[in-house]
């Protein structure tokens, strides 16, 4: 009773889509960061699933996923610091009100 590869891929795709939906539709910057996390984890599922089904002899997929974790942690640290900096400057974390790129 082993779960086929397709299921993992569908799960990862669904998670990725939820993540991208969150990134595009949330108004709160922290919500967007959470969406990015979902996308990163969807990638992790893909990595580990492909490793398990294609090349279980070596640890490549898992190690790669570990790297993604590390990068994701760093990204959250930087992202949250940015959110706090923005909040201090502009008193808001609603991204619709942050449109400095226009200028």
Partner 1 sequence: MIQDFFINITWLIPVFPFLAFLIIILFTQNNNKLSHSLSIGSMVLSWLVGWGVVFSAIGTPHLGEHPIQKVIPWFETGTSTFGIGFWVDPLMAAALFMVPFVCLMIFIYSVGYMGYGTDEVDPNYARFFGYIALFATGMLGLVISENLLTLFMSWEIMGLCSYLLIGFWFQKNYDDPDKITPRQAGLKAFLVTKVGDLFLMLGIIYLYSQAGTLSYADTLFNHEFLVHLAETPALPIFGGWSAASAIALLIFGGAVGKSAQFPLHIWLPDAMEGPTPVSALIHAATMVSAGVFLVARIFPLLNIVVELELHNPTMGIIAFIGAFTAIFAAIIAIGQNDIKGVLAFSTISQLGYMIAALGIGAYVAATFHLITHAFFKALLFMGSGSVIIGCHHEQDMMELGGLRKKMPKTFWTFVAGGFALSGFPIITAGFWSKDEILAHAWHEFMLEGTASWPFFVWLLLTIAAFLTAFYTARQISLTFLGKPRSHHAEHAHETPATMTTPLIILAFFALTLGFVGIPEEIVGLGNNWFHNFIGHEYAATPLSVTVMLLSSGLALGGLGLGWWVYGRKPLVQGQMDPVEKGMNKIRLGWLYKAMQNRFYFDEIYRATFIDGSVKLADILYDFDYHWVIDPIVNLVARIVRGISEFSNKFDEKVVDALVNITGLSGVKLAELGGITDLKVVDGFVNGVADVTGWIGEKVLRPIQTGKAQNYLLILLISMLAIIGIYLVY
Residues contributing to the site for partner 1 (CB under 8 A): 20, 23-25, 32, 59, 62, 95-96, 98-103
SS3 (DSSP) at 72:
helix
Q: Kindly tell me which of 91 and 99 has the beta carbon lying closer to partner 1.
A: 99
Q: Kindly tell me which of 16 and 72 has the beta carbon lying closer to partner 1.
A: 16
Distance in Å, CB of 101 to partner 1, minimum: 4
With b for 16 or more beta-carbon neighbours within 10 A and e for fewer, the 4-34 pattern comes to eeeebbeebeebbeebeebbeebeebeebbe
Distance in Å, CB of 31 to partner 1, minimum: 11
What is the residue whose two structure tokens read 């002899």? 57
Distance in Å, CB of 71 to partner 1, minimum: 19
- Which tokens sit at 78? 């930087």
């Amino acid at each position: 009773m082993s779960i086929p590869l397709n299921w993992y891929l569908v799960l990862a795709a669904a998670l990725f889509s939820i993540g991208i939906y969150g990134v595009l539709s949330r108004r709160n910057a922290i919500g967007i960061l959470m969406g990015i996390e979902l996308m990163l984890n969807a990638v992790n599922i893909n990595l580990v699933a492909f490793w398990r089904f294609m090349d279980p002899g070596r640890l490549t997929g898992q190690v790669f996923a570990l790297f993604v974790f590390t990068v994701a942690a760093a990204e959250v640290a930087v992202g949250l610091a940015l959110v706090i900096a923005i909040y201090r400057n502009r008193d808001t974390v609603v991204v619709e009100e942050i449109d400095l790129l226009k200028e």
